[in-house]
Amino acid sequence: MSVLVILEQQGGKWHRMSWETLAAGQQFAAALGQPVEAAIVGNGVESLAAEAATKKVAKVYAVEHGLLQDYTADAFTAAVEELIRKVNPTLVLFPHTYQVRDFAPKLATRFNQVLISDVISARFESGSPVFVRLLFQGKLNGDVRVSGGGPYFASVQAGAYRADSLEPGSGAVESFTPALDASKIRQKPEAPFRESARAVDLTAAEIIVSVGRGIKEKDNIPVVEALAKALGAELAASRPICDAGWLPMERQVGSSGQTVAPKVYLAVGISGAIQHLVGMKGAKTIVAINKDANAPIFEVADYGIVGDLFEVVPALVEAVNKAKA
Ligand SMILES: Cc1cc2nc3c(=O)[nH]c(=O)nc-3n(C[C@H](O)[C@H](O)[C@H](O)COP(=O)(O)OP(=O)(O)OC[C@H]3O[C@@H](n4cnc5c(N)ncnc54)[C@H](O)[C@@H]3O)c2cc1C
C-alpha cells in the first residue's frame, strides 16, 4: 500500500505542478503512514525518473513505451492502469493539468472509482481520505468522502501545495514497460497545443505585481508597470481590469483567470474578492496596498500598506531602484 503520484512531463520537460503534487503526496503518505511512490509516463524518461528519485520517495517508476512518446488518452490510461494493478496503491494523485483532466476520470472508472478533481487538501479518517474542494467559486470548502475501498483517485489544485516544501531523499528507479496494443489506441497525436506568442505564463512568475480597480483608469497602468519593471515582476490584474481591456485577459488572476503561486504577490488597489483570492492565495508572501484598511485583501496579506497607491507605488519604485543602484 502506498500513495502513488503520477508526475507529468511534456517533451522531456517537467510540468511545474508535478512537484507540487509530489509535495502533497509526501504529506498524505506521512498522514497514512505509508510510503510515497511516483511514476513518470513517456518514452525516454529515465533521467526524469532519476531526478524525481532525489526526493523523498520509495520508488519512481519510469513507465516507458514507444506508444507513450506522444500523449494519447487511450495509451496513458492503459499504461497507468497496468501500473496501478501491479503497485496496488491506496491513493493515486495527479496534478490537476489539462492532460490529467482528459484521461484520469476514464482511468478511475476502470477501478469503479471517480476522480476527485482539483482538491486543495485532504485528511484521513481511519485510513479513508476526506478530500477538500472549493465550491461555488471558492465561497465554500466542501468535504468529499469516497465510499468503498481504494484505490482512491484525486487531482491536486495548482498552488495548493508548495514545491519548495518537498522533502529530499533517495528512492529507487524501476523501469516499467506496459503491454500496450497499438490497435486499441484510437487517438492520433498532433502537435501539442501552443498558446499564442502573446500569452503570458503567470504560473511561472516568481514575483507578480497585480493591479485592481483602484488604479481608476487605463492611463494610470504605467504607475504599476514601473513597479513591476523595478522588481523584475510580471504584471497581472483583477478581472475588472481585463474585462475593461486595460490589460489582456491572459493577465487575469482568479477563479476565471490564472491560478498563481509566486514567491511574492503584490496586490495593488485590489479589494480581495473571493474570486480573486482563490487565484493567488497560494503565494508565499502577499503584500497588499489599499486605501481602505477594512479591505478583505488584508485578511490574507502578510504585509499591508494602508494608503493611496498613487503615493505608495512611486515611493516603492524609487526605493527599489535606489536599493538596486
Ligand atoms: C463568476 C465570477 C467570476 C469571477 N472571476 C474573477 C477572477 O477570476 N478574478 C478577479 O479578480 N475577479 C473575478 N470576479 C470578480 C470579483 O467578484 C470582483 O468583482 C473583482 O475581483 C474586484 O476587482 P478589484 O478588487 O480590482 O475591484 P474592487 O472590488 O472595486 O476593489 C478596488 C479596491 O481598490 C481600492 N482603492 C481604490 N482607490 C485606491 C487608491 N487610490 N489607492 C489604493 N487603493 C485604492 C479600494 O479600496 C478597493 O478595495 C469574478 C466574479 C464572478 C461573479
pTM, entire model: 0.73
Q: Give 241 Cα–ligand 1 centroid separation in angstroms.
A: 9
Pocket lining: 220 vs ligand 1, CB cutoff 6 Å? no
> What pLDDT does 292 receive?
97
pLDDT digits (tens, 9 = 90+) for 25-46: 999 999 999 999 999 999 999 9
The pLDDT assigned to 16 comes to 80
Q: What are the residue ranges in the chain where pLDDT is below 50?
A: none
At residue 199, the pLDDT reads 66
| Residue 310 confidence (pLDDT) | 98
pLDDT for res 208: 98
pLDDT of residue 75: 98
Q: Are 7 and 20 in contact (CB under 8 A)?
A: no
- Contact call for residues 91 and 150 (beta carbons, < 8 A): yes
Q: Which of 87, 34, 20 is nearest to 60 (CA)?
A: 87
**CB-based contacts of 197, cutoff 8 Å, min separation 6:** none
Which atom of ligand 1 is closest in space to residue 297's alpha carbon?
49
Query: For ligand 1, what atom is nearest to the CA of residue 256?
Result: 8
**Any atom of ligand 1 within 6 Å of the Cβ of 243:** no
CA of 67 to the centre of ligand 1 (A): 47
| Distance from residue 210's CA to the centre of ligand 1 (Å) | 11
